[in-house]
Structure 1
Amino acid sequence: MAFTLVLLLIGALLLMVIGFNAMQQQKERAEALRRTELTRQRAIMEETEEVLSNTGMFPCSPNVSLVLYKRIREAAKQAVQLASPQQKADYERRILDLDTLINNQQGIGMTMPSLESFKLPDNDRQILVLVQTLKKLRAIIRDEHNKGKLDPTVFANEEGRINNLQLRINVESMLSRARSSCYMKQYGSARQMVTKALSTLNTIKGQTPNDPFIAKKVEEAKATLDEINSAVKTNQPSTPKYKEENDIDVIFQPKKKW
């Protein structure tokens, strides 16, 4: 009887230990998931804030700023649910600040800034940042659209503006590289860059046929191509020509006697 009781007690103890371990493991998994999700929301906020801080490099529409503010706010709201008590207050203050920014943005109106004011940065590093920013912005807009948080018409307009900006950057970069190659007397590479630039301009013309940028850059590309062709002719090695009289002198010169 006593032996049976001991066995029962040992069995009960084992069950308690197993149950405790299972609960502990479940708690650890939940904590790991909480930390992972909180890290993901922080990454969303940081990436979106980075894009927002770089929107001054190009004509950014109010719609885009509004989408970015709302995306940060949504991530902050998710973070509040996942953060520790010490962190919650910071995220809550952030949400209040974002609410103010969103209200102010909505009060400004949705006037689209003209892309004609866009100028490519002179610094290569800034150009790289601009290209990366537009790439991230495109991904964000598509993600918000897929979530149903962005009107299809607004999405189409904003994606079109991003495409147009990327094409403009490509044209400006290719023409700049063409001029550099021409300066280095690499005329083949220079001509190839200009040809690509003209092809890209035709693509832009198909999207925005009345865009003054196209006519301006087409003229610039043609002028650069003329400059390249002129430089090729100027630097082409001349073919040696023999004077007729010299050839006659050789034929009728006195023969040597051996």
Structure 2
Amino acid sequence: MNIALVVGLCVILLGLIVGYNIMAQQRQRVESSKRQEMAKYIAVIDATEELIGNAHNLPYSGTLLVCLNQKILDALKTMHDIDKTDRSLPQRISDVQAQINQIKQTYQNKESTSFRVPDSDREAISMLKLVKRLRAVIKAEHTKGRLPTQAFVSENSRLEQMQMKINIENVLKRVNDAKIKGQMGTAQQLLKKALDVVSSKSDPYCQSAKESLSAMLEEVNTSLSKGHEANRPKNDENKELDELFAPKKKW
């Protein structure tokens, strides 16, 4: 009788141990999944804050700033739903919401900064990459239904024109530098490539740029016809041109 009792107790104890281990493993899986989800949204917030931090480098519209901050707000709210124990999240949510409200009041028909011509090809490429990231964000937010269609179309068009302006203004700077150095061949190739790009556009900026570029090209051609040496661009210059004027992805 005592042996049977001991065996029974051992079986019960073993069952409790197994059950406890199963529950512990389940809790670990849940916690691991929660940490992974939290890490994903933290990465989203960090990347978006980095984009917002570049608002002094490029003209950001109020629509774009609201979109970026709303993306952070949505991530924070999701994190709060995942982990109710984090007491810092409610305050952060409140702060971001207040920031969004302030942007809506401050940036009506106003941009974060004025457009600045890039100082070098490297800076121009960096600016173009930033614009590309911004266009990817607004496209994703529009797809998720967080950005109205009209706002998306308007902002996407504004960013596309900014890409064009970065390219053209950088070309104008390079052309002037080449002319100062007497590199008329380089200036000619730059102008021809820029004209190929703006000729297919009909917006006011491109039409104005087309006139300026055409006049500059005529001046360069005249100089070359008078016997100025046409210096061919080096391979690295051609590579930079190809990167600057690579076909942009249509959103």
TM-score class normalised by the smaller sequence: 0.7 to 0.9
User: 1:120 maps to which residue?
Assistant: 117
The equivalent position to 1:90 in structure 2, one of 88, 101, 116, is 88
The equivalent position to 1:229 in structure 2, one of 199, 221, 233, is 221
The equivalent position to 2:130 in structure 1, one of 125, 129, 133, is 133
Q: Supply the distance in 2 between the matched residues of 1:23 and 1:37 (Cα, whole angstroms).
A: 21
Q: Supply the distance in 2 between the matched residues of 1:154 and 1:173 (Cα, whole angstroms).
A: 28
The answer to whether the 8 A contact 1:175-1:197 is kept is no
Bigger mean CA deviation after superposition, 94-103 or 155-164: 94-103
What TM-score, normalized by structure 1, do the two folds share?
A: 0.73
The equivalent position to 1:148 in structure 2, one of 145, 148, 151, is 145
User: 1:165 maps to which residue?
Assistant: 162
Cα shift at 1:118 = 2.5
Q: Percent identity?
A: 30
SS in 1 for 2:199: helix
Q: By percentage of residues, which structure has more helix?
A: 1
Deviations 1:10-51 (A, max 9, x none): 554444343333222222221111111111111111111121
Q: Supply the distance in 2 between the matched residues of 1:27 and 1:91 (Cα, whole angstroms).
A: 23
Q: Supply the distance in 2 between the matched residues of 1:119 and 1:204 (Cα, whole angstroms).
A: 22
Structure number with bigger Rg: 1
- Which runs of 5 or more structure 1 residues have no equivalent in the other structure? 238-258
Change (3 A) 1:173 1:121: closer
Q: Supply the distance in 2 between the matched residues of 1:6 and 1:118 (Cα, whole angstroms).
A: 84
In structure 2, give the amino acid aligned to 1:225.
Answer: L
Change (3 A) 1:18 1:195: farther
The answer to whether the 8 A contact 1:167-1:204 is kept is no
The equivalent position to 2:100 in structure 1, one of 99, 102, 113, is 102
SS in 2 for 1:229: helix
Change (3 A) 1:192 1:10: farther
Deviations 1:31-89 (A, max 9, x none): 1111111111111111111211212333322111111121111112222334584xx33
Runs of 4+ in structure 1 over 4 Å off: 1-14, 123-126, 178-189
Q: Supply the distance in 2 between the matched residues of 1:173 and 1:190 (Cα, whole angstroms).
A: 12
Change (3 A) 1:157 1:83: same
Cα shift at 1:124 = 5.1
CA RMSD of aligned residues (A): 3.1
Q: Supply the distance in 1 between the matched residues of 2:16 and 2:185 (Cα, whole angstroms).
A: 80
SS in 1 for 2:200: helix
- Which runs of 5 or more structure 2 residues have no equivalent in the other structure? 231-251
User: 1:59 maps to which residue?
Assistant: 59
Q: Supply the distance in 1 between the matched residues of 2:228 and 2:101 (Cα, whole angstroms).
A: 63
Q: Supply the distance in 2 between the matched residues of 1:192 and 1:129 (Cα, whole angstroms).
A: 23
Matched, 1:28 2:21: no
User: 1:197 maps to which residue?
Assistant: 194
Deviations 1:182-202 (A, max 9, x none): 666665554332222112212
Q: Supply the distance in 2 between the matched residues of 1:178 and 1:5 (Cα, whole angstroms).
A: 96
The answer to whether the 8 A contact 2:178-2:187 is kept is yes
Change (3 A) 1:7 1:231: farther
Change (3 A) 1:11 1:227: farther
The answer to whether the 8 A contact 2:124-2:170 is kept is no
What TM-score, normalized by structure 2, do the two folds share?
A: 0.75
